[in-house]
Amino acid sequence: MNTPNVSANLDVAPQPDEQAKREGFALGLPPRAALLPRSGWIALIAFIIAMGICVPVAALVLPESSTFHLSAYSMTLVGKLMCYAIGALALDLVWGYCGILSLGHALFFALGGYAMGMYLMRSIGREGNYQSDLPDFMVFLDWHKLPWYWQGTEHLWYALLLVILVPGILAWVFGFFTFRSRVKGVYLSIITQAMTFAAMLLFYRNETGFGGNNGFTDFKRIAGFPITSASTRTVLFLMTLGVLILAFIAARAIVTSKLGRVVTGVRDGEARLMFLGYSPLSYKLFIWTVSAVLCGIAGALYVPQVGIINPNEMSPGNSIEMAIWVAVGGRGTLIGPIIGAFAVNGAKSFFTANFPEYWLFFLGLIFTLVPLLLPSGIMGLIDIALRKKKAGGHSH
Amino acid sequence: MTDSILRFARRGLCAILIACMPLAAFAALSADDLAPLAADDFDAKSAAIDKLIANADAPSIAVLSALADGSLVATDAGRVLIQTDDGNKDPLTNKTVEAPDAQPVTLNNLLRSKVSGAVSGLQLASPDIEKRRAAIDELLKNADPSIKPLVDKARAQETDPTLKKRLDTLWATTALHDTDANKRLEAVQLVAARHDLDMNELLRPIVVKNADGTFAEPDARVRAAAQAGIEELDSIQRRGEIVGTIFAGLSLGSVLLLAALGLAITYGLIGVINMAHGEFLMIGAYATYVVQNLVQHYAPGAFNWYPLFAVPVSFAAAALVGIVLERLVLKHLYGRPLETLLTTFGISLILIQATRTIFGAQNVQVTNPSWMSGGVSVMQNLILPYNRLTILGFSLVVVLLAWVVLTKTRLGLFVRAVTQNRRMAACVGVKTARVDSYAFAFGAGIAGLGGCALSQIGNIGPDLGQSYIIDSFMTVVLGGVGQLAGTVIGGFGLGLVSKTTRSVLKACSP
């Protein structure tokens, strides 16, 4: 057998007939898992259609008095959670499938957010407090022209390009040097966190030109539409949902591909993989960069919905929190992190609204208990339940 | 014997000279000279005070001292009197005068400092050498050009060589604006020779260029002398800054060392990156706070020595939390480093929130014992605070302690054995799990000591540990895992690098 063992974390069992069909190939690869089982596709499409109809209706058509009316608050909340879910998905790609625990994904998230924020700041135009062409904070700092890196950010297409390029290039460069030096495990986690911490300190400074402490806020419009109007919000919400689904399908496609198997091999036995003749560097670099870009996109969707971006967003704590979403949902499952992001952040919203002083206790407990008692997260629980049902009571 | 007689004679002569001098040199004070003091015109008052200073006879001195302590009064008719316990006295005649309408003479700030300078200036002529010394010191701090005549006089009379030297400088500070270029040159040279950083502000204006291209100081020799003096002062300043930066680096290094030492032990031994390590610092600091309050409450007399109790208590508190943590949680996660990272982060959140609940979110105040406040001044612009010096010494003691424990005790032997080869150690009968617990508690305790030290130099809040965690990881990684000497070098190295880079960057930035 000259292939690494990859079946351990694929939650969809290979179809037997497919396996038989592929047995004829010379390589003798075990069959690839389908992207999604048929029932999964049907459920997904039904869900998309339902959301595509229900959300606009609930937000725009129904009167505010109706029980089914989707308020701006709840739409923002769910939109925010979906952005977090995209971030968690991105982190699961590297942590769950490649064994790289990044504690710096909040940085990529925030960088995407800042790139978007730059566009949003520029599109305020002269409606700021100082009625200047420059963003307010620059007027406040007595700057007279835009720094070079702000050039062109008045175009949405360029900002979107930045959303992809900035986290992507940073991740590639960082990954190239760390992976080439074979930094891994806990050390890599610490380095990613140090990078995030350094970036946060940099962004906190006024001289950096990103608004210092306050970051960017008071956005007025996006692509010409008023940013706070219900219809703009609905569109952003649906876009986020679309991106989340696309990201999920793309991630699924990556991890079930041959490349994805090698990446999983890196996780399970990097040394063995190298002896088999693979160079893990490019595989790690690819998955790492894709993950960072995905995270950046999540940040870019997050900022117009939440209406603010500041350096706090890239604090080390946020990155670690992202890891806990993945852990709670179940890493290496793709769907788990999405559930985890919703579960943990839902709990956060609930606690901070009702028992603000207990939220950190609760979060700390999740951090402590999930790795101890629930190492494969919510998905692990579901998995166990399903197996039990199938095996008629036999335990996992 | 002859010496002392001679000195006595000289002093006597001096006293006579001082007594005669004013009478011989100046016209006596008249009522007209005093009248402006009673008026409202501050310029006229200033001129009158100048005249009093120039006169410097007994009545003038009396008037000036009265002005200084606010007992000079004036009648509506413009008569100036000195308020005493026996009624108002006329300074010229020294007779008591009935003056029911007398109001205190008012001064503005400028005049007030002028008068106090003048009173010190008058002390220059005092026969008591200690008084003269005090007066010179006072005037060196704040010399007003108006006291120049007094200084001139004192300079001519002073016999004590050390005081004469100081008088020279004092004279120089008053003579910087003399009309005679030679005198100015002499003055500048004298000022520059003091190597006193405070003299910078006297020298700088001399080399300033006016808007029209001319210099404020017309004489090139004076300017050159001033420039040389400024450069000399700059180099003194730089030297002080360099030494200061090095000390700041060492001080930061000692704190990092205390924070990282325990981490190095636990990480080296168990391979656990403990994100809650910073919270052990916090626990140690809060333990110090509690001990401080207890001592203050129950034994206020022993307050100066509360750190003696705080050190063992902070060690014990952090070690206790550490051992509980290890037994309850970390033990189950060995071999899963990434999960341990997350779990310990969660524990740090719990500990922070628990502290917030118990002690409040505000920072708490730990007071230095009196022997730790203040500092030793090693250079003009450099004071080394005692608390930082103490912590530097303390950190070295702790390193020594850790070294002794690790190399001279049975536990240390086991710890090293397990660090090197866990399985082999287990095979020869070392109870590795127990060693893990003890070592973890020891590492946590050292962090507690670090917290106790930190409490003496900074604020204590629930977030205290968070700010040190990344730095202490860097220290451990820089120094090499599981190496005591490495951690020491890492700590001081990181401290020095961080402080020097900071000061270099500060110097480079506009």
Same domain, B41 and B167: yes
Instruction: Name the DSSP letter for residue B182.
Output: H
Contact B346 A187 (CB under 8 A): no
Alpha carbon distance A301, A85 (integer Å): 12
The total number of residues written for chain A in this structure: 396
| Predicted confidence (pLDDT) per residue in B191-203, tens digit | 777 777 767 777 7
CB count, 10 Å around CB of B20? 10
* C-beta of residue A324 within 8 angstroms of C-beta of residue A84: no
pLDDT of residue B4: 56
* C-beta of residue A51 within 8 angstroms of C-beta of residue A241: yes
Q: Domain segments of chain A: what residues?
A: 73-315
Alpha carbon distance B45, A196 (integer Å): 66
Contact A371 B470 (CB under 8 A): no
In the predicted structure, residue B509 carries a pLDDT above the cut 70: no
Interchain contact B336–A (C-beta under 8 A): yes
| Predicted confidence (pLDDT) per residue in B120-166, tens digit | 777 777 777 777 777 777 777 666 666 777 777 777 777 777 777 77
Interchain contact B116–A (C-beta under 8 A): no
Among A310, A254, A333, CA closest to A88:
A333
Q: Work out the end-to-end distance of chain B between its first and last CA atoms, rounded to an integer number of angstroms.
A: 65
Task: Assess if residue B219 is contained within a domain.
Answer: no
pLDDT of residue A163: 95
pLDDT < 50 regions, chain A: 1-14, 20, 24-25, 395-396
Chain B residues inside the 8 Å CB shell of A197: 470
pLDDT of residue A283: 93
> 3-state class of B239 per DSSP?
helix
Contact B341 A368 (CB under 8 A): no
Instruction: Choose one of B149, B175, B201: the last residue of a domain.
Output: B175
Contact A367 B329 (CB under 8 A): no
Among A382, A324, A369, A299, CA closest to A82:
A299
Alpha carbon distance B169, B159 (integer Å): 15
- Contacts of A380 by beta carbon, 8 Å cutoff, 6+ apart: A330, A374
Task: Assess if residue B400 is contained within a domain.
Answer: yes
Task: Assess if residue B254 is contained within a domain.
Answer: yes
Same domain, B246 and B338: yes
Chain A residues inside the 8 Å CB shell of B333: 371-372
Interchain contact B276–A (C-beta under 8 A): no
- How many structural domains comprise chain B? 2
Of the partner residues A193, A365, A367, the one whose CB lies closest to the CB of residue B342: A367
Identity of residue B54:
A
* C-beta of residue A97 within 8 angstroms of C-beta of residue A264: yes
Of the partner residues B337, B342, B474, the one whose CB lies closest to the CB of residue A327: B342
Q: How would DSSP label each residue in B62-103?
A: HHHHHHHHT-EEE-TTS-EEEEETTEEE-TTT--EE--TT-E
Contact B343 A371 (CB under 8 A): yes
Contact B350 A375 (CB under 8 A): no
Alpha carbon distance A163, A161 (integer Å): 5
Contact A364 B348 (CB under 8 A): yes
Contact A366 B357 (CB under 8 A): no
pLDDT of residue B66: 79
Identity of residue B339:
E
Same domain, B258 and B137: no
Instruction: Name the DSSP letter for residue B88.
Output: E
Interchain contact A183–B (C-beta under 8 A): no
Contact B353 A194 (CB under 8 A): no
Measured in angstroms, the CA of B346 and the nearest CA of chain A are apart by 4
* Dihedral angle computed from the Cα positions of residues A81, A85, A88 and A89, in that order, rounded to the nearest 10 degrees: -170
Task: Assess if residue B479 is contained within a domain.
Answer: yes
pLDDT of residue A2: 42
- Tokens representing A259 are 């490349």
Contact A357 B357 (CB under 8 A): yes
Chain A residues inside the 8 Å CB shell of B339: 327, 371, 375
Phi and psi of B380, rounded to 5°?
Answer: -60, -40
Interface of B with A in 294-333 (CB under 8 A): 329, 332-333
What is the pLDDT of chain B when averaged over all its residues?
80
Interface of A with B in 328-387 (CB under 8 A): 357, 360-361, 363-368, 370-372, 375
Among B346, B353, B354, B352, CA closest to B329:
B346
Task: Please report the number of interchain residue pairs, chain A to chain B, with beta-carbon separation below 8 angstroms.
Answer: 77
More confident residue, A225 or B66: A225
Identity of residue B264:
A
Measured in angstroms, the CA of A7 and the nearest CA of chain B are apart by 21
* C-beta of residue A105 within 8 angstroms of C-beta of residue A295: yes
Measured in angstroms, the CA of B308 and the nearest CA of chain A are apart by 34
pLDDT of residue B90: 78
- Tokens representing B269 are 């031994």
Task: Assess if residue B189 is contained within a domain.
Answer: no
Chain A residues inside the 8 Å CB shell of B346: 324, 363-368
Average pLDDT over residues B473-496: 82
For chain B, what is the total number of helices (H) and then of strands (E)? 20, 7
In the predicted structure, residue B188 carries a pLDDT above the cut 60: yes
Measured in angstroms, the CA of A285 and the nearest CA of chain B are apart by 20
Alpha carbon distance B197, B236 (integer Å): 8
In the predicted structure, residue B22 carries a pLDDT above the cut 50: no
In the predicted structure, residue B13 carries a pLDDT above the cut 70: no
Contact A368 B347 (CB under 8 A): yes
Chain B residues inside the 8 Å CB shell of A178: none
Strand order in the sheet with B96-97: B96-97, B87-89, B80-84, B72-74, B103-104
Which residue, chain included where needed, has tokens 């190295």?
A: B493
Alpha carbon distance B241, B129 (integer Å): 36
pLDDT of residue B14: 47
Instruction: Name the DSSP letter for residue B384.
Output: E
Task: Assess if residue B74 is contained within a domain.
Answer: yes
More confident residue, B212 or A328: A328
| Predicted confidence (pLDDT) per residue in B368-424, tens digit | 888 887 888 877 778 888 888 988 999 999 999 989 988 899 988 998 888 888 889
Which H/E stretch holds residue A329? Answer: helix A316-329
Of the partner residues A186, A197, A367, the one whose CB lies closest to the CB of residue B346: A367
Chain B residues inside the 8 Å CB shell of A364: 346-350, 353
Interface of B with A in 222-251 (CB under 8 A): none
Instruction: Name the DSSP letter for residue B483.
Output: -
Interchain contact B127–A (C-beta under 8 A): no
Phi and psi of B498, rounded to 5°?
Answer: -65, -40
Contact A320 B473 (CB under 8 A): no
Most A CBs within 10 A among B336, B349, B477, hence the mutation to make, goes to B349
Most A CBs within 10 A among B274, B329, B332, B341, hence the mutation to make, goes to B341
> 3-state class of A6 per DSSP?
coil
Contact A367 B332 (CB under 8 A): no
- Tokens representing B374 are 């203040």
Interchain contact B467–A (C-beta under 8 A): no
Could you list the residue range(s) of the whole structural domain that residue B269 is in?
Answer: 238-508
Chain B residues inside the 8 Å CB shell of A324: 342, 346
Chain A residues inside the 8 Å CB shell of B274: none
Alpha carbon distance B120, B114 (integer Å): 10
In the predicted structure, residue B296 carries a pLDDT above the cut 70: yes
CB count, 10 Å around CB of A19? 12
Alpha carbon distance A112, A306 (integer Å): 14
Task: Assess if residue B101 is contained within a domain.
Answer: yes
pLDDT of residue A10: 44
What are B96's strand-pairing partners?
B89
* C-beta of residue B176 within 8 angstroms of C-beta of residue B189: no
Most B CBs within 10 A among A372, A373, A374, hence the mutation to make, goes to A372
> 3-state class of A28 per DSSP?
coil
Identity of residue A208:
T
Most B CBs within 10 A among A197, A360, A363, hence the mutation to make, goes to A360
| Predicted confidence (pLDDT) per residue in B324-340, tens digit | 999 988 888 887 888 88
Same domain, B300 and B429: yes
Of the partner residues B338, B350, B357, the one whose CB lies closest to the CB of residue A186: B338
* C-beta of residue A233 within 8 angstroms of C-beta of residue A75: yes
Alpha carbon distance B455, B284 (integer Å): 8
Measured in angstroms, the CA of B479 and the nearest CA of chain A are apart by 14
Chain B residues inside the 8 Å CB shell of A366: 346
CB count, 10 Å around CB of B139? 26
The ipTM value here is 0.78
Instruction: Choose one of B122, B156, B175: the last residue of a domain.
Output: B175
Same domain, B457 and B338: yes
Instruction: Choose one of B153, B175, B197: the last residue of a domain.
Output: B175
Same domain, B426 and B499: yes
Of the partner residues A95, A320, A364, the one whose CB lies closest to the CB of residue B347: A364
Task: Assess if residue B269 is contained within a domain.
Answer: yes
Average pLDDT over residues B53-76: 76
Phi and psi of B110, rounded to 5°?
Answer: -60, -50
Chain B residues inside the 8 Å CB shell of A187: 477
